[in-house]
Amino acid sequence: MGVGGGFWELIKPLRHSSEDLSTLQDKRLAIDLSHWIVQQEAVLKDRARKPHLRLLFFRVVTLVAKVGALPVFVVDGDAPLLKLPARIERFSRFSGIPAAQLNGGDNHRNRAFLENVEECVELLGLLNVPVLRATSEAEALCAELERNGVVDACVTPDSDAFLHGARCVIQTLQADIKKPLVESYLASDIRLALQLEREHLIALALLVGCDYNLRGIPGVGYSNAMRLVQHFSKDEILDNLRKWGRREYPSPEVIGKLSDSANGFDSKEGDDAALHLGRRKDSHCSMCGHPGNKKLHTKLGCEDCGSLNTAGCSQKAKNFKCGCGSCAQDRRRKKHEKDVTWWSNLRAKISAIEDFPNEEIIEIFLNTGATSYLREGQSLDLRWEAPQMEPLELFLGSHLHWDVSYIRKKALPLLSHYCLKSIAEGPSMALLNGRYTPTSILKLKTNVGKPLYVVKWNAVDSFGGPGGETNEDSITTDEQISLIKRACPALVSKFEDQQKFKRPTRRKKKEPDPDQRSIMSFFKVKSKQVSWEGSGVELLAPTAFRKESNSLSSKQIIDLDSSDEDDVRVSVKRRLF
């Protein structure tokens, strides 16, 4: 959840959205595993066997082999005791069970969910993808890793990552190659556009609610909270919340004067002016709205309107505001009174909350104890290596009932990716699956708008050279162009030279069929005299509609009675069809 009340909607205009997954190439991503499992189960629930394992496997293959990213999965630890009331209340909303009957719960997570997490951790271990365990919340460890430069971004929909100090958060990562989507947010954008530092975000969470306090302060929404936190600097906001919690805040009149100082309103000057005027503005014309009255303007004209005494005043606009000193001072005075009322109401709402703000929540977000969220005994020496195929085949065959051939086919992009990386990084000869080596680039293809090389791999014989050309001794894979250029520059040069000297193939023009009539000749009309034997009648008929027997049917001419040719009457004006 993170900061309550629609935090993502607040910063939505600052979103960086892209359908190009190549922006994640060679980027280390700290991924909140729990949120991925929840998303996977929501997509394929009751439609596939163990969806958390199925989609995790395909997402890892896509991220590593096809995108070139370096994922680091982070697992939640025990939830903080402070979060227990919020978890009970949230569970009560979804289940319908009264919260009073759930007070005996503990801070341990759902057992069935934990079993799914452990199965995912086992799968990631067989895929040789780094997995780190947090002492409490996964998003806190993700933010710590990103803040310390261990990873480049956090992948989590929990906005608490910003409160823990994350600088780049990827809220949405849709790794489907056909429908890719990356939506990310930067803390620097939030700071520049909204003037919100990390301390401001923590104060915002305390006011509107968060995972540790769902309600926040009743009656304080985002507009009021934003107005409050933006009024103070990052070094003042939390200290002021503490003072207000102890009822040590200045009077609302003083706060109102401070808030109006930016508008140039002097409270003493405003009070003196209002007293001098009897709290009444100067008289204004009802026609144009300028100082004076309509009667005088009709006789003498209006200087502000620029009208003569005979022309009268111009009609004032619908939202007209007079700019004279009296009206401006009156508006500032009303604004001041409105701000004083606002601060008074806000003070009353804060005063109604006991022990505000909760120092334990502030300590969790700021990590004032300077302790790491990483569980002891784990190393940050992160490595990504080729999967362990035999144990992987047994694991997926047991849990998902996949055939060995299907597992090898789907894992092939991972194997070829790591093989090419080994070739690019070291001088030693690396073989795909201990048998194949890249020998040529067959062609350049485009997959969903992304160019790829189709690489041919030949089996290596016992003497260290390429084997035969049979289907069993060669395979093909689709690889990233940048990776092939690093691993096999000679193959790329050879392929590019072949493309230069390769003549473009031209389609041979097909000869027309001599027996086929031209469509133009079909519609070409020629006049020709057509006679009917024995009738003595001559008609003009289009050639295109004439039969080759030079005889006309009864539909082309009128009906003829062969028994009596003398009674045949033909209307020459009738059109033939």
Whether the pLDDT of residue 539 is over 50: the answer is: no
**Cβ(165)–Cβ(191) below 8 Å:** no
Output the CA–CA distances (angstroms, integers) from residue 159 to 97, 234, 244, 416, 563, in the order listed. Answer: 28, 19, 26, 37, 101
For 110, counting Cβ atoms within 10 Å of its Cβ (0-12 exposed, 13-18 middle, 19+ buried), the class is exposed
In the chain, the percentage of residues whose pLDDT exceeds 90 is 35
* Calpha distance 424→328 (Å, rounded): 72
* Calpha distance 530→524 (Å, rounded): 18
User: What pLDDT is stored for residue 419 in this prediction?
Assistant: 93
Whether the pLDDT of residue 414 is over 60: the answer is: yes
Count Cβ atoms below 10 Å from residue 129 Cβ, excluding itself: 24
Number of alpha carbons in the 13 Å side-chain half-sphere of residue 286: 2
- Which band of pLDDT confidence, cut at 50, 70 and 90, is reported for residue 562? very low
Q: What is the mean pLDDT of the chain?
A: 78
* Calpha distance 242→202 (Å, rounded): 13
User: What pLDDT is stored for residue 388 in this prediction?
Assistant: 93
Residue with tokens 């940050």: 380
Kindly state the tokens that stand for 386: 């080729």
User: What pLDDT is stored for residue 273 in this prediction?
Assistant: 43
Winning range, highest mean pLDDT, from 298-307, 386-395, 445-454, 513-522: 386-395
User: What pLDDT is stored for residue 28 in this prediction?
Assistant: 97
Q: Which of 4-8, 36-40, 134-138, 358-362 has the lowest mean pLDDT?
A: 36-40
* Calpha distance 286→344 (Å, rounded): 36
**Cβ(34)–Cβ(117) below 8 Å:** yes
Residue with tokens 């004006």: 573
Whether the pLDDT of residue 572 is over 70: the answer is: no
Kindly report the CA angle at 544 between 543 and 550, in degrees rounded to 5? 50
Q: Which of 161-175, 178-192, 244-258, 421-435 has the lowest mean pLDDT?
A: 244-258
Kindly state the tokens that stand for 446: 């485009």
Whether the pLDDT of residue 365 is over 80: the answer is: yes
- Which band of pLDDT confidence, cut at 50, 70 and 90, is reported for residue 147? very high
- Which band of pLDDT confidence, cut at 50, 70 and 90, is reported for residue 499? confident
* Calpha distance 9→50 (Å, rounded): 33
Whether the pLDDT of residue 428 is over 60: the answer is: yes
User: Could you report the per-residue pLDDT of 504-531, keeping only the tens digit for each?
Assistant: 666 666 666 666 555 555 445 554 444 4
Kindly state the tokens that stand for 424: 């690019």
- The mean pLDDT value for 468-486 works out to 80
**Cβ(279)–Cβ(293) below 8 Å:** no
User: Could you report the per-residue pLDDT of 3-60, keeping only the tens digit for each?
Assistant: 876 899 999 999 999 988 888 999 999 999 988 887 766 555 556 788 889 989 999 9
- The mean pLDDT value for 297-313 works out to 69
**Cβ(210)–Cβ(195) below 8 Å:** no
For the domain with range 7-208, which CATH number is right: 3.40.50.1010, 1.10.10.10, 3.90.1150.10, 3.30.1370.30? Answer: 3.40.50.1010
Q: Which residues of 314-326 are buried (b: 16+ CB within 10 A; e: fewer)?
A: eebeeeeebeeeb
* Best CA proximity match to 411, nearest among 398, 424, 392, 395: 392
Please name every residue paired with 284 in a beta bridge, in sequence order, or none if there are none: 291
The kind and range of the H/E element at 229 are helix 222-229
Q: Which of 288-302, 448-462, 526-540 has the lowest mean pLDDT?
A: 526-540
Which residue ranges does the chain devote to CATH 3.40.50.1010? 7-208
User: What pLDDT is stored for residue 202 in this prediction?
Assistant: 94
Whether the pLDDT of residue 216 is over 90: the answer is: no
User: Could you report the per-residue pLDDT of 259-287, keeping only the tens digit for each?
Assistant: 554 444 444 444 444 434 344 556 778 77
* Best CA proximity match to 433, nearest among 398, 469, 395, 477: 477
User: What pLDDT is stored for residue 349 in this prediction?
Assistant: 87
HEC per residue, 393-425: HHHHHHHHCCCHHHHHHHHHHHHHHHHHHHHHH
Output the CA–CA distances (angstroms, integers) from residue 402 to 52, 63, 474, in the order listed. Answer: 15, 21, 24
**Cβ(64)–Cβ(107) below 8 Å:** no
Kindly state the tokens that stand for 25: 């190439």
- The mean pLDDT value for 388-408 works out to 94
Whether the pLDDT of residue 552 is over 70: the answer is: no
Whether the pLDDT of residue 63 is over 90: the answer is: yes
Q: Which of 141-150, 379-388, 512-521, 563-572 has the lowest mean pLDDT?
A: 563-572
